[in-house]
């Protein structure tokens, strides 16, 4: 469907049904168990239908991204967090498939290097925040500093923070710092959307089994992922607290059902389309002065051999 057929507010209305149920913008009282990883809003779609809808969404995104780039003012930060095998990589791949690679940067954050550990915990992430006109994707993010580091506290020791500053409230303090950091970025013109791909414990096991069973998926398997399952409950608690402390209107979380990949992708695409449509992006208008320059350039070009 061409853009001209639908107005901006019609598009926002059309995608809302996929985003409203999963958007968390007030942390108080948030509970993960109120969100079903298997939810598809009662929709049943075959692969073809789902991929057609997704394709339309990513084409739309590509148009929006082109204007974002041309305007060179707003930027968009997409944060992806999830347990292993929830589909972060493939969601990013599918949703962004039509977007011009020059306007989009993906950063995958792994264990920090010793240089990174010698800095404050936000240092490595702040440097990768998207510049104006760009979409930045964080595949894992500063939230890991309150997730994996919280679950495995020996990682905190490696951060060499002065002992007297490591108190009982350190996780609340970190989350408060993250919320402030996000406020700061949004006030600078960065639109922040945070996605928690909500995978069930059972579905994770199924996907790990597939990684073991299918040779072409073996490379994705890591024995440590299975060990990490033992800490599932700790991770869920850490996620819940992170979402509670950092969900806001300006930087909402989306708790996206992740047991059905086609649905995960639709919700993520819908959330990005919705947020970008709300920016009312347009191509920069050419001034009278610039039009004169263009006319002069045209005249000169005509005369040249």
Residues that bind Mg ion (CB under 5 A): 84
Shortest spacing between CB 253 and ligand ATP, in angstroms? 18
Residue 145 binding target from Mg ion, ligand ATP, none, CB below 5 to 8 Å by type: ligand ATP
156: contact with ligand ATP by CB under 6 A: no
Residue 144 binding target from ligand ATP, Mg ion, none, CB below 5 to 8 Å by type: ligand ATP
| Residue in 194, 202, 211 with CA at minimum distance from that of residue 232 | 202
What are the helix (H) ranges across the chain?
Answer: 8-19, 47-71, 88-95, 114-117, 123-126, 148-151, 154-157, 170-187, 201-213, 223-228, 232-246, 261-277, 288-303
123: contact with ligand ATP by CB under 6 A: no
By Cβ distance, which residue is nearest to Mg ion?
A: 84
84: contact with ligand ATP by CB under 6 A: yes
**Taking CB under 6 A as the criterion, which residues in 198-257 touch ligand ATP?**
222
| Residue in 152, 126, 143, 234 with CA at minimum distance from that of residue 195 | 143
Task: Tell me the C-alpha distance between 137 and 93, whole Å.
Answer: 11
Place of tokens 């993906």: 106
| Orientation angle between helical segments 261-277 and 88-95, nearest 10 degrees | 50
For 243-281, b/e burial (b = at least 16 CB within 10 A) is bbbbbbeebbbbbbbbbbbbbbbbbbbbbbbbbbbebeb
Size of the site for ligand ATP (CB under 6 A): 14
Shortest spacing between CB 141 and ligand ATP, in angstroms? 8
Residue 89 binding target from Mg ion, ligand ATP, none, CB below 5 to 8 Å by type: ligand ATP
| CA dist 58 → 251, 264, 286 (Å) | 22, 14, 28
Shortest spacing between CB 147 and ligand ATP, in angstroms? 7
Shortest spacing between CB 300 and ligand ATP, in angstroms? 53
Shortest spacing between CB 222 and Mg ion, in angstroms? 6
Sole window of 24-32, 103-111, 253-261, 275-283 interacting with ligand ATP (rule: CB under 6 A): 103-111
Cβ pair 88, 139 in contact under 8 A: yes
By Cβ distance, which residue is nearest to ligand ATP?
A: 144
Cβ proximity to ligand ATP: between 6 and 122 the closer is 122
140: contact with ligand ATP by CB under 6 A: yes
Binding-site ranges for ligand ATP (CB under 6 A)? 84, 89, 108-112, 140, 144-145, 148-149, 155, 222
């Amino acid at each position: 469907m061409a853009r001209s057929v639908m107005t901006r507010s019609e598009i926002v209305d059309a995608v809302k049904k996929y985003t409203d149920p999963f958007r968390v913008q007030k942390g108080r009282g948030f509970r993960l168990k109120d969100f079903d990883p298997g939810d598809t809003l009662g929709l049943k779609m075959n692969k073809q239908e789902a991929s057609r809808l997704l394709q339309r969404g990513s084409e739309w995104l590509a148009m929006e991204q082109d204007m974002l780039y041309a305007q060179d003012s707003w930027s968009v930060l997409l944060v992806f967090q999830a347990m292993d095998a929830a589909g972060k990589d493939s969601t990013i791949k599918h949703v962004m498939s039509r977007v011009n690679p020059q306007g989009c940067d993906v950063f995958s954050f792994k264990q920090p290097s010793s240089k990174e550990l010698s800095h404050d915990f936000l240092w490595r992430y702040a440097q990768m925040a998207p510049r104006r006109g760009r979409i930045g994707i964080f595949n894992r993010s500063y939230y890991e500093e309150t997730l994996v580091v919280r679950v495995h506290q020996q990682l905190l020791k490696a951060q060499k923070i002065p002992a007297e500053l490591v108190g009982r409230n350190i996780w609340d303090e970190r989350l408060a710092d993250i919320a402030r950091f996000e406020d700061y970025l949004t006030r600078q013109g960065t639109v922040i959307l945070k996605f928690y791909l909500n995978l069930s414990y059972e579905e994770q096991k199924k996907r790990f089994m597939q990684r073991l069973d299918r040779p072409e998926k073996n490379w994705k398997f890591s024995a440590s992922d299975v060990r990490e399952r033992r800490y599932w409950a700790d991770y869920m608690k850490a996620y819940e607290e992170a979402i509670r402390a950092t969900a806001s209107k300006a930087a909402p979380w989306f708790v996206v059902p992740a047991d059905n990949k086609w649905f995960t992708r639709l919700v993520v695409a819908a959330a990005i389309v919705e947020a970008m449509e709300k920016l009312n992006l347009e191509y920069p208008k050419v001034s009278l002065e610039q039009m004169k320059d263009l006319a002069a350039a045209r005249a000169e070009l005509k005369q040249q051999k």
